[in-house]
Chain A
Amino acid sequence: MATALQPPQVNVNEEPEAHRGKGSGGGFRGPAPDGGNLRATKDPAGEPARTGIWVGLAAIAMTFAALTSALYVREGASTDWQHIVLPPILFFNTLALIASSVALEVARRRVSAFMRGKDPSRSAATFWLNATMVLGVVFVVGQYMAWLKLRSLGLYLPTNPNSSFFYVFTGVHAVHVLGGLGGLTRVVAKFRGMGSPLRKSTLDATSYYWHFMGLLWIYLLGVLWIKL
């Protein structure tokens, strides 16, 4: 396990930027002498994590698109749409989530500095990664408190279509945020030496996912505010 604590060599972790997307041609990644051993020379699956996360985010976006259209159709289908007041804590939660994205970006730069040997200690990067997660937890707890607020007003899941969609939208989003927290936990663990070393693509993929959760939330908040 001793090797895990060394910052990995640059050429293993930096993927060649040239190959992206469809029709990239060749598809060959990283240096490899002809006739060389496949295991030794093949790029350690750096790219797929980034491609994979975009693909995954496309699916998540599609799910929320379906829910959005369900909302619009449901509203148009009948006359029982009843305006609900969004619990004010939602705006605080939004700030927390945005702050967590900012923290994550700072964290990424600290990780990068550590990886390149510019920063001898992990503590700055770890701090900002933890801050990201704490703010993420604050968001989820805050969402739960928003639910409690609605319940105190007598608005439960089946009460009216507006409340139904509120719980569904915020609930499905929160589940995905929890998934993101799981991903961040994994990143922190790897960074601190548990398991295989942290690869840049893993950190990138986890970050894209986390930022997407923030952007998605802003979109959902907009929909909730306009429609509900």
Chain B
Amino acid sequence: MSEAQAHVAHHGPPTTFIRKHIFSLDHKVIGKQYYGLALVAVVTGMVLSWLMRVHLVWPNSPIPGLGLLSKVGAPGGVMTPEYYLSLMTMHGTLMVFFVLTNAPFAAFGNYFLPIQIGAEDMAFPRFNMMSFWTTFVAFIILISAFFVGDGPPLSGWTAYAPLSAVGADSGPGEGLGQTLWGLSIFVFCIASLLGSLNFIATTLDLRTKGMTLARMPIVSWAWFITSCISLLAFAVLLPACLLLILDRVAGTSFFIPSGLNVSDHLQPHQGGSPLLWQHLFWFFGHPEVYIAILPAIGIVSHILICNMRKPMLSHKIVIYCMMGIGFLSYMVWGHHMFLSGMNPFSAMVFSFPTLLITIPATIMTLIWLGSLYGSNLRINSASLFCLGFISMFVSGGVSGFFLAQPSIDIYLHATYFVVGHFHMVMGVAAIMGVFAGTYFWFPKMTGRMMNETLGKWHFYLTLIGTYAIFMPFHYLGLAGNVRRYSAFTDDFLVPLIPVHKFITIAALFTGAVQLIFIFNLIYSNWKGKEAPANPWECTSLEWSTPSSPPPFDNFGGQHVVVYHDPHQYGVKSSTGDYLMQTSPERAGETP
């Protein structure tokens, strides 16, 4: 029996263009494909947010070009209220699913998890390829909603029933677009499940000799824990979307009660429960936000350790905290539903674990801060974004403390306070993690360095810009500014418009700043300074590959043996102050 046939799941090097770049089985190519898709999604989502912000403060001004995108949604370039909500829905859907679940997890995880554990590829390369292309199909279905009859759905990324379930009667934006949304997310769930399956099997079974679970880098642990959470969460969203689609097209009544008079049409449905949708959705939705943030926590921890030249105060505790957060994340979904009409006693039940989640989050933050003490922190774009992450995570986290308490939530629910909270703690923080990962791993992925000066400008301006955008959201929330409004016409909202103008300008500014990053990414890929094999002097396995980018089987056929955990920094060795995981050397005395 030949050697090649012994490795059914392992593949020979690709030879054709299609196999190399399009339908590739190589986890590195797939990781880059996910990154590219996330990049397209984030630019689209960001442009949508600019359109939203401009409309909010200049509602009657035509926006150049918008009339071309949709004659119905923006006649003469002036956005209709329903189109605002549609853009908002697509913004949220793109950002949460196609950016935050894709970039830190699917993109970097796919690229680096197998390498960090010393494997040739993921456990199931064909499933891996399928999961990317399925995600791509989901993306196309979602985008197609822009171009169908009524336009994209307007029920928000949360798609509450009955608004999302009764069909076109509930108004413009609730026609075919909503069904396409349901289909897109259904397909996305399948892709996500395939991906998580791969991550889990790979982590458990494909670790190379000497790579015990304890010796995995924190970021690999983060990807592993995230994939466990993701597996169970997306498995719940999948049937929820199925039931929603059935209510819309097959006349079932899972979520639609009887006696509804929508736009003068008596709905034929009977007996369904709108709260059922909320329960199913948030049972997925809360773990989803931890799926969005845990990989970034891992990435930031990994990069900080390397740049501090010193191990984390206790990496084991950070890992336990990630597990604790993952576990608790399944118990708190009702905190999105305090005022939903569910039994008010359950509010107390959900509030308690929600407050408890603060504990592992605080422990991790204190450990990051405590680890900085006494370190030799190298300041570069990657480490700066890690520090920015910590700052954002704290800022966004403390506002959660308010929302976790039902009595306070009575006032703050559905205000901009909530919007500020999740944008900071999930949106910006995770994106900062992605930026950190990009600057850090770019040399390994391309063999070139990104420009440090541009990186630093990108960081400082983004830090200032994102605080300028999202901190005022909290002030608006305290004033009771309701969210998901396409215009501010209420008596108490008109005086807040100057705050919104400030935010809009900050948003446009921050958006423009991202051009620095895009330029840096493209230019460095082409003309960046050639990178040494291990520019950051990092210990983990991805830095011991024979080339940058790594060869198709990651280690060039070499048998990788691991001798250390990835925290051998501040030790005397022949390489300097660190020991690679693959180095058989023993650590000298700590200098």
Identify the A interface with B (CB < 8 A).
3-4, 6, 8-9, 12, 21-29, 32, 34-42, 44-45, 47-49, 51-52, 55-56, 58-60, 62-63, 65-67, 69-70, 73-74, 77-80, 157-158, 160-161, 164, 168, 172, 196-197, 199, 202
Return 23 A-B CB contacts under 8 Å, by A number.
A23-B212, A24-B213, A26-B210, A26-B212, A27-B211, A28-B209, A38-B559, A39-B10, A39-B557, A42-B7, A48-B9, A48-B202, A48-B204, A48-B205, A49-B9, A51-B205, A62-B232, A77-B257, A161-B253, A161-B271, A164-B253, A164-B254, A172-B239
Residues of chain B with a CB closer than 8 A to A3's CB: 1-2, 5
Indicate if the CB atoms of A59 and B197 lie closer than 8 Å. yes
Tell me the nearest residue of chain A to B273, going by C-beta: A77
Q: Is the CB of B246 within 8 A of A157?
A: yes
User: In the complex, which residues of chain B have a beta carbon less than 8 angstroms from the beta carbon of A160?
Assistant: 270
Decide yes or no whether B346 CB sits under 8 A from chain A: no
Q: In the complex, are the beta carbons of A59 and B557 less than 8 A apart?
A: no
Residues of B within 8 A of A49 (CB): 9
- Distance from B295 Cβ to chain A, minimum over Cβ atoms (Å): 18
Chain A residues lying within 8 Å of B193, measured Cβ to Cβ, are: 56, 59
- Chain B residue numbers with a CB within 8 Å of A23 are 212-213
Residues of chain A within 8 A of B209, CB atoms compared? 26-28, 32
The answer to whether A28 and B208 have CB atoms under 8 Å apart is: yes
B286 interfacial contact with A, CB 8 Å: no
Q: How far is the CB of A140 from chain B (nearest CB, A)?
A: 19
Q: Are A78 and B205 in contact, CB atoms less than 8 angstroms apart?
A: no
Complex CA gap A4/B4 in Å reads 12
- B62 is an interface residue with CB less than 8 A from chain A: no
In the bound complex, how far is the Cα of B242 from the Cα of A79, in angstroms? 23
Known: A59-B232, A157-B251. A199 touches B201 (CB 8 A): no
Q: A42-B7, A65-B236 are in contact. List 9 more A-B contacts (CB 8 A).
A: A24-B204, A38-B120, A40-B6, A44-B6, A47-B205, A48-B123, A48-B124, A70-B280, A164-B253
Contact B239 A9, beta carbon cutoff 8 Å:
no
Residue contact B123 to A52, C-beta cutoff 8 Å:
yes
Nearest CB in chain B to that of A29: its residue? B205
A41 CA / B209 CA spacing, docked (Å): 12
Say whether B201 contacts A78, CB under 8 Å. no
- Kindly state the separation between the CA atoms of A194 and B88 in the bound complex, as whole angstroms: 51
Select A55's contact among B201, B210, B239, B242, beta carbons within 8 Å.
B201
State whether A196 touches B8 (Cβ < 8 A): yes
Residue of B nearest to A195 (CB): B8
Task: Type the 1/0 row for B231-258, where 1 means its CB is closer than 8 Å to any CB of A.
Answer: 1101110111011001000111110011
How distant is the Cα of A40 from the Cα of B246 in the complex, in angstroms? 51
Q: How far is the CA of A177 from the CA of B410 in the complex (A)?
A: 47
Residues of A within 8 A of B6 (CB): 12, 40, 44
CA distance A39 to B555 in the complex (A): 11
* A12 / chain B contacts, CB cutoff of 8 Å: 1, 6
Within 8 A of A (CB), among B164-218: 193, 196-198, 200-202, 204-213
Contacts of A202 in B (CB 8 A): 8
